Amino acid sequence: MALDDWLLDELVAGRGSAVFRLYTWSVPTLSLGFHQRRLEAHWGLLEEQGRIALVRRPSGGRAVLHGGCLTYALLWPDAPGPRTLAYRLASLWLQEGLASLGHPLRFGVGTTNQQSPSCFATSTAADLVEADGAKRVGSAQLWRQGHLLQHGSLQLDPTPELWKAVFGMEPPPLPALPIGAEALVNHLRRAAEVGLGGKPFDEQPLSRGELAAIEPRRERFQLRAAASAPSLSPLN
Alpha-carbon separation of residue 168 from 9, 32, 111, 160, 175 (angstroms)? 36, 16, 20, 10, 21
111 CA to centre of own chain: 19
Residue 69 annotated as catalytic: no
How far is 84 from 98, CA to CA, in rounded Å? 21
42 phi/psi in degrees, rounded to 5? -70, -15
Q: Report whether 70 contacts 156 (CB < 8 A).
A: yes
Give per-residue burial for 99-113: e unless 16+ CB within 10 Å, then b.
Answer: eeeebebebbeeeee
Catalytic, out of 30, 73, 86, 119: 119
The residue among 23, 18, 17, 30 whose CA lies nearest residue 152 is 23
Q: Report whether 97 contacts 188 (CB < 8 A).
A: yes
- The residues assigned a catalytic role are 119
